[in-house]
Amino acid sequence: MLERITQTIGRGEVANDRRAYSEAETVALLSQVSNRCPLCDGGLFYRKRQRHYKSYELAHVYPLNPRPEEVIELANSPRLSADVNDPDNIIPLCLNCHGQFDKPRTAEEYHRLYQIKLDALQDERQRALASQYPLEEQISAVVAHLHSAAVEQDTGVELALTPKAADDKLDTTMPPPTKRKVRNAVEDYFRHIQTAFLELERSDPGCSEQIFTQVKSFYVMQKRQGLTQAQVFANVVAWIRIRAEAQSLESAEAVASFFIQNCEIFE
């Protein structure tokens, strides 16, 4: 098989030229990996005499011009783009990692870098989508209410909506630690968040209903993408945290858990 591929290439298959990337494209690519090498977490710049210098190369995830053995090695592997020079197939790597990745390029290493780049692309698209979905600024008052709330004490009285209702909505794509986190947040903070929404409704009639509708709409958008429950929960938490300017990740998680219990998420 290797001989046939070599002969095919030798009979006139045109090599791809390396494309030059604009400054804006390069900045976007570096931003996707937070200016760190995604393989070793090393810096992609170094400073010398008050100046910064690049210490990275733009690597092709799927090779620009695969060698015959690479064609075989990656024969059944997914690709990020049909065009190997598309920025979706490009990722900044430190000089050392780029050299090791290329020589030789194995299927295992390829799939690892493929997944890293895919996750970065999905995160980028998620941020763009989240920016299109509004959330009433009053949600910040609900989150702030948690910072002064005492954790629910065991009074022997069950919640009107029991935590089990949230558990029943969570499937196997939600990791057990996250399920436990949601259940505990409902047990500890459901009443506090409910009270905060009631207070908000008294001062601004219709606002709570508007927030519930916005959360539901954002959730449906997530659902339509075919994401797992774990991914949806993480995206909702990130959206709430940004929109509410939450002081902590935990408070955004508690509010997201409230919406699971309250049926806006995972109906």
CA distance 113 to 165: 39
Average pLDDT, the chain: 87
The sign of the torsion formed by the CA atoms of 258, 261, 266, 267 equals negative
Report pLDDT digits (tens) over 201-217. 999 999 999 999 999 99
State mean pLDDT over 103-108. 89
pLDDT at 112 over 90: yes
Q: What is the pTM of this model?
A: 0.74
Q: Dig out the tokens for 191 from the structure.
A: 């009443």
Model confidence band, residue 158 (pLDDT cutoffs 50, 70, 90): very low
Q: Dig out the tokens for 115 from the structure.
A: 């997944």
- Specify the higher pLDDT residue, 156 or 252: 252
Residue 133 DSSP SS3: coil
Q: Looking at residue 130, what is its pLDDT? A: 85
Q: Dig out the tokens for 64 from the structure.
A: 């620009």
pLDDT at 30 over 50: yes
Model confidence band, residue 13 (pLDDT cutoffs 50, 70, 90): low
Q: Dig out the tokens for 267 from the structure.
A: 């109906």
For residues 135 and 219, the answer to whether their CB atoms sit within 8 Å is no
Beta bridge partners of 48: 51
Q: Looking at residue 221, what is its pLDDT? A: 92
Model confidence band, residue 11 (pLDDT cutoffs 50, 70, 90): very low
Model confidence band, residue 164 (pLDDT cutoffs 50, 70, 90): low
% residues pLDDT > 90 (the chain): 67
Report pLDDT digits (tens) over 44-92. 999 998 899 999 999 999 999 999 999 999 999 999 999 999 999 999 9
Report pLDDT digits (tens) over 166-186. 778 899 999 999 999 999 999
Lowest mean pLDDT among 116-120, 140-144, 210-214: 140-144
Q: Dig out the tokens for 170 from the structure.
A: 């969570």
Q: Looking at residue 105, what is its pLDDT? A: 86
> In the chain, what are the domain boundaries?
21-130, 139-149+160-261
State mean pLDDT over 217-223. 93
